[in-house]
Chains A and B, each alone.
With several copies, the nearest count.
Chain A
Amino acid sequence: MGFYGDRKLTAEEAKRLRETDIGPPHYSNFLHPVIKKNYGKWKEHEILSPGVMVHTAESGDKIWSVRVQTCRLIATDTVREVCDIVDKYCGGYVRWTSRNNIEFLVSDEKNLEPLQKELKEKGYMIGGMGPRISNMVHTQGWVHCHGAATDASGIVKAVMDEVADYITTKELPAKLRLALACCPNMCGAVHCSDIAVVAIHTKVPPVDHDRLGKICEIPTVIASCPTKAISPDPAKKSVKIKDERCMYCGNCFTVCPAIDIKDPYRDGLAIVIGGKVNCLRTPTKFSRLVIPYISNEPPRWPKVVAAVKHIIELYAKNARKHERLGEWIDRIGWERFFKLSGIEFTYQAIDDFTFMRETLRNQSTFKW
């Protein structure tokens, strides 16, 4: 039970008790004793199963981590349920990962099996370590964001259900990072993922001229447009958008609520692939566009799911060990990928923005 229990603070209390600029509590308050003791003195690790690894310190101490996938959006009662398990097996110490998974920290090997058993019984999904899929980074979607061209959690759930085997058991050539952003603002930092779903708007946003002049700064609106599609409309004290220059990024909408970017019929999903964050072997890679448009189909977005699955299986079959999806495609060539995958090559896949000169083929060599 929390410090103040069920009791809500009064406004006066709040004023009196509040303190600004204290920052987060120091992490050392929350470190498992074995971790605290061996902090900075780890020697090696071993991945024991798809969701369990052990780290061994120079001292010989060991800490086991059991990773459980979450859907990120979590009810407080689930947090409490997790806490109960953590108390039971982990001495009250737990962490979340950078991909929104839970890591149960176990210092007593004896607890390892019972913990896993209980987790499984309670329906938790253990996995995501090693050359597998781990949680799909994502954003707010219709759950909370104003600009979302799709729901985030919904697609993630549908995709992850489909690829569950690759989380909990099956291996891939290397780690495969999935992500989703619900608009091109890319809060999910989707641009360097092995496979990502990006929700896109596809219609030139209508402008509410009456409101615009009143609630938005015209120069800001004009400056917001990457393609200079927006110009002043002095007559209307508003702006006009040149249809053929707008590529629906929604940035004008972000800076000005009188512009409406959302369109239920036209909003949809694009699939971008072949990105990677780290610099192992090859430098950081961007995710690149392969499927420009799939209609929004809640509740389970079957085509998006099938597309992701299709690409994963192609990768699993063809890549070399340790080769990330993008490394594989960059090695065999994108023309070969399109052929192997049967994915239609579209105008949209040809860059006409910042990276155009770099991504066109300035060489007479390619595969048929």
Chain B
Amino acid sequence: MKKYETPLLDELEKGPFPSFVKEIKKAAAKNEMANDELGQLEYSFKTKRGYWKHGGIVGVLGYGGGVIGRYSDLPHMFPNVEFFHTVRVNQPSGWFYTTEVLRELADICDKYGSGIMNMHGSTGDLVFLGTTTENLELIFAELTSKEKPAHLRFDLGGSGSAMRTPSCCVGQARCEWANYDTMEACHQITQEFQDELHRPAFNYKFKFKFAGCACDCCASIARSDCSVIGTWKGPILIDQDAVKWHEKKGMDISREIVKMCPTECISYDGKELKINNDECNRCMHCISKMHHALKPSGERGATICIGNKAPIVIGTIISHVIIPFMKMEPPFTEFKELARKMWDWWDENSHPRERIGEVIEFKGMRSFLEAIGVEPIPQMIKEPRRDPFFFFTEGDIERFKKREEEEKKTGKFIF
């Protein structure tokens, strides 16, 4: 195996934080691909430029995604990364693993790939970093092999203009605040839409992320077209003794809790903490900081926000509230129907490379809401429209006029 001098990368073996250079070298010690990756990377560091070509379309039979094709720009210098595709392996919900399954995946990665993985990709997949075109089918077969017990059988994740690998926060598996079962939702949605995941048929990508509460520990609102964020309908229960406990532990309740509540609905007189639940917007601040004393109660479900995407082409969009409250219980029928309705509308109204959030901007919210059968409510907006022009349908005006006629009869205005 060729030995690369890596004086620049070596600098990144120093220091307390785990070193990716050490990782690459560890793999490179026994893998030619990893070794050439190391060499090319050092060359990049030296010349301040990446040397990967545009990805060609490669993949496995029957799928349109799951693999990102990559080819070195310098195959003459680094022949073992001439082909260096990544394979996106759909992670289990919540990134829970047993050592058995991790070893299974590591072995596959070693055998057919570079022995380097990304745990995990930004979307959530477990990524095998680098393999050749011909190995793709073998990897896929070994991942999915019918011979293997179910729990060892993995499938690919998404890429291209498809539904992307959904992901979720740890949720009810290890968090007291999860308002719905994020992991099950993530799993079932992934299973329900296998076709949409593997065979790009949309106009651009579509991501789901499931967070159990407003803490949003999987960054759903900022990283998915459809952000499902758990919430509740009911008062915050207060354990006054625990309030005292927090105080004793050094919490300045007035500064840290009362003053920081965005809706000014908490009061504390040194004896009793009170919450005006009607005005609470369920932001989770007080609950998360006084976690022994406060907890949500009542009906549980999620707020569905739509539209987030990265900045190109029209600037970053953060998902916006479309459904303030939806019950999220297996088999998530209502949610699945919603997804289908959204996609239908998106499909009909978009050009290639337009994310759903962009299309909502282009077409207006009404078109979208009508298509998915949702009535407008003020929870969808931070504030109403500022400019004085807006569309009416013929029906709108007739409805307004009819109402006015009735008002004339009853003598009472309905605004």
Partners in one complex: yes
**What's the least CB distance linking A249 to chain B, in Å?**
4
Give the CA-CA distance A330 to B151 in the complex, in Å: 48
| Residue pair B386, A288 in contact (C-beta under 8 Å) | yes
| Residue pair B376, A186 in contact (C-beta under 8 Å) | no
A117 within 8 A of B: no
Contact among A3, A97, A347, A358 for B369, CB-based, below 8 A: A347
A111 within 8 A of B: no
| Residue pair B172, A23 in contact (C-beta under 8 Å) | no
A26 within 8 A of B: yes
Give the CA-CA distance A93 to B100 in the complex, in Å: 9
Q: Can you give 14 contacting A-B residue pairs, CB < 8 Å?
A: A8-B138, A25-B153, A43-B176, A55-B175, A71-B20, A83-B102, A97-B95, A168-B16, A189-B222, A266-B397, A281-B262, A284-B222, A344-B414, A362-B305
B355 within 8 A of A: no
Q: List, in ascending order, chain B residues with CB within 8 A of A284's CB.
A: 221-222, 318
| Residue pair B122, A1 in contact (C-beta under 8 Å) | no
| Residue pair B321, A361 in contact (C-beta under 8 Å) | yes
| Residue pair B388, A146 in contact (C-beta under 8 Å) | no
| Residue pair A151, B390 in contact (C-beta under 8 Å) | no
Contact status of A336 and B279, CB under 8 A, knowing A141-B50, A349-B376: yes
Q: List, in ascending order, chain B residues with CB within 8 A of A248's CB.
A: 389, 392
CB contacts under 8 Å to B, within A316-368, are 320-322, 330-339, 341-368
Q: List, in ascending order, chain A residues with CB within 8 A of B2's CB.
A: none
| Residue pair A158, B12 in contact (C-beta under 8 Å) | yes
Residues 118-159 of chain A: 1 if any B CB is under 8 Å from the residue's CB, otherwise 0?
Answer: 000001110000000000010101111111100101101110
Give the CA-CA distance A144 to B183 in the complex, in Å: 30
Q: List, in ascending order, chain A residues with CB within 8 A of B154's CB.
A: 24-25
**What's the least CB distance linking A186 to chain B, in Å?**
4
Total interface residues on B, CB under 8 Å, equals 187
| Residue pair B15, A161 in contact (C-beta under 8 Å) | yes
A112 within 8 A of B: no
| Residue pair B11, A300 in contact (C-beta under 8 Å) | yes
**What's the least CB distance linking A222 to chain B, in Å?**
12
Q: List, in ascending order, chain A residues with CB within 8 A of B396's CB.
A: 292-293, 346-348
B52 within 8 A of A: yes
| Residue pair A226, B389 in contact (C-beta under 8 Å) | yes
| Residue pair A30, B151 in contact (C-beta under 8 Å) | yes
Q: List, in ascending order, chain A residues with CB within 8 A of B214's CB.
A: 278-280, 364-365
Q: List, in ascending order, chain B residues with CB within 8 A of A192's CB.
A: 219, 221-222, 318
**Chain B residue at minimum C-beta to C-beta distance from A142:** B44
CB contacts under 8 Å to B, within A268-288, are 268, 270, 272, 274-275, 277-284, 286-288
**Chain A residue at minimum C-beta to C-beta distance from B145:** A17
Residues 64-107 of chain A: 1 if any B CB is under 8 Å from the residue's CB, otherwise 0?
Answer: 01000111111111111011101100001111111010000000
Give the CA-CA distance A107 to B310 in the complex, in Å: 40
| Residue pair A189, B231 in contact (C-beta under 8 Å) | no
| Residue pair A146, B55 in contact (C-beta under 8 Å) | yes
| Residue pair B26, A92 in contact (C-beta under 8 Å) | no
| Residue pair B90, A23 in contact (C-beta under 8 Å) | yes
**Chain B residue at minimum C-beta to C-beta distance from A311:** B415
| Residue pair A350, B365 in contact (C-beta under 8 Å) | yes
A223 within 8 A of B: yes
| Residue pair A288, B172 in contact (C-beta under 8 Å) | no
| Residue pair B415, A310 in contact (C-beta under 8 Å) | yes
Contact among B12, B144, B376 for A18, CB-based, below 8 A: B144
**Chain B residue at minimum C-beta to C-beta distance from A81:** B26
**What's the least CB distance linking B316 to chain A, in Å?**
5
| Residue pair B144, A184 in contact (C-beta under 8 Å) | no
**What's the least CB distance linking A2 to chain B, in Å?**
3
| Residue pair B98, A92 in contact (C-beta under 8 Å) | yes
| Residue pair B222, A69 in contact (C-beta under 8 Å) | no
Residues 219-258 of chain B: 1 if any A CB is under 8 Å from the residue's CB, otherwise 0?
Answer: 1011100010101010000000000000000001001100
| Residue pair A332, B288 in contact (C-beta under 8 Å) | no
Q: List, in ascending order, chain B residues with CB within 8 A of A144's CB.
A: 52, 70, 84, 86, 129-130
**Chain B residue at minimum C-beta to C-beta distance from A21:** B194
A224, A289, A337: most-surrounded residue (chain B CB, <10 A) = A289
**What's the least CB distance linking B341 to chain A, in Å?**
18
Query: Would you list the 10 A-B pairs with minimal beta carbon distance, nearest first?
Result: A2-B107, A161-B15, A354-B315, A352-B364, A14-B141, A362-B318, A29-B151, A160-B17, A83-B99, A360-B320
